[in-house]
Structure 1
């Protein structure tokens, strides 16, 4: 589903009205005609839709993901993904614990446009490098990053991460995928090259690296990178499922 299929950012257009528009054949901005009556869409709402489309077309041409992040309900942020897929930065962090005030970020991996990079504490993991990575993205995607990865990085490196953010944990729950990332991966058929390691294992590997075991760092980085790369597959599956449930399902009703 693309942003151009959406009318829900408009004041007065909720889920029911949007589905009514779709059922009546108004499935894209281009197909909206304010002169054509749609049941439940009065002239005031029609004027608002027309104004929104005019503004949104310009914003979309400019690649202004922040505009759509502000105007879409938070639960519908997944709709931005298809438009900004290639500019989406998937990222995941490893730490020495769960407290951002006491524990350390050890590695951060980023996957964008088919390429994966990893920053390592003590080598190249620094605030400026993080800012560069996030500034280069139109959309961020994580799993549980809104509660963990983002605040941990902001506190640890004194940075502000304001790039639009799709936390995949929430759309996963919406389609019945719950629990941690690894069980969800198994449920949708994502296979890993390496045996799974736990958060405790990640801490152990970092401590072994600090004691001089370079192989431990290699294992940790490989694990972190695989987490990050698998997020793209997860995003593809989740948004396609929601597209079928929300848009295609509503369009063929009635």
Structure 2
């Protein structure tokens, strides 16, 4: 599903109205003709479409991400999949005011990068990487990863953001990232490791164990890589239940 199939970013258009548009054959901006809805809302939708095309031509999806509910921002992904950055961090604890970020992994395209505290993990590096991304994808990053980075590195993470936890809940996938991976059959090399192990591994590295850092980095990288197939599965299921269910009779 692409942004051009969406009408709920328009003020006054909720899921019920959007579904009514789809059921009447208006499944794409190109098909909107002012019917089905009243004239005031039709004018608003036409303005949204005109402005939306300009934003998409510029490669800017922020206006759509800001207007979409958190559980619906997955709709932005197909438009910018090649420029999507999957991000995960590891920390020494849960309090950004006193704990540290130890590693940050970013997966974009076919490349995964990991930055390590005391080596190459800096505010400038993070800002450069995020500036190259059209969409940021995390799991529980809205409440944890992003605020942690903003506090610890004094950066403003303003990239349009999909927190996978919310669309997962929309299709009944509850629990943490690794529990959902197991349910969907997404494999990782060390399924036994947890966030608590990540803290332990960092402490062992600080005491001189380079092998513990290697394990920590691989654990962190697996989180980012696995979010890509997870998002694709979730987007496919939501596309089927949200969009295809409404257009089945077309």
Cα gap change, 1:26 to 1:104, in 2 (>3 Å): same
Q: Deviations over 1:111-164 (max 9, x none)?
A: 001100000001000111111111111110000001111111111111111111
What's the counterpart of residue 183 of structure 1?
179
Of residues 98, 103, 113 in structure 2, which corresponds to 1:102? 98
Q: Residue 75 of structure 1: CA displacement?
A: 3.2
Q: Tell me what 1:26 maps to.
A: 26
**Matching residue of 1:148:** 144
Measured after TM superposition, the shift of residue 11 of structure 1 is: 2.3
Query: Where does structure 2 lack aligned partners over 5 or more consecutive residues?
Result: none
Larger deviation: 169-178 or 53-62? 53-62
**Structure 1 Cα separation of the partners of residues 91 and 11 of structure 2:** 42
Distance 2:62 2:10 in 1: 16
SS at match of 1:79: helix
Counterpart of 1:75 in structure 2 is 71
The aligned counterpart of 1:118 is: 114
Report if the CA contact (8 A) 2:70-2:167 is conserved.
no
**Alignment match, 1:159:** 155
Question: Once the two structures are superposed, what CA deviation does each residue of 1:57-106 show, in whole Å capped at 9, x if it has no partner?
Answer: 11111111112122333332111111111111001011111111111111
Cα distance in 2, alignment partners of residues 175 and 25 from structure 1: 25
Alignment root-mean-square deviation, CA = 1.3
Taking the aligned partners of 2:138 and 2:154, their CA distance within structure 1 comes to 20
Query: Using the alignment, how far apart are the partners of 1:240 and 1:166 within structure 2?
Result: 15
Q: Does 1:225 align with 2:224?
A: no
SS of the aligned residue for 1:82 comes to: helix
Q: Distance in 2 between matches of 1:97 and 1:193?
A: 24
Distance 1:208 1:11 in 2: 53
With the length of structure 2 as denominator, give the TM-score of the two structures: 0.96
Determine the C-alpha separation between the residues in 2 that align with 1:216 and 1:108: 16
Contact 2:70–2:163 (8 Å) recurs in 1: no
Is structure 2 residue 40 aligned with structure 1 residue 44? yes
Matched residue of 2:50: which SS? Answer: helix
Q: Is the 8 A contact 2:86 2:224 kept in 1?
A: yes
Aligned length: 250
Q: Which whole-Å CA distance do the structure 1 matches of 2:84 and 2:71 have between them?
A: 18
Q: Distance in 2 between matches of 1:109 and 1:228?
A: 7
CA separation in 1, counterparts of 2:165 and 2:71?
A: 11
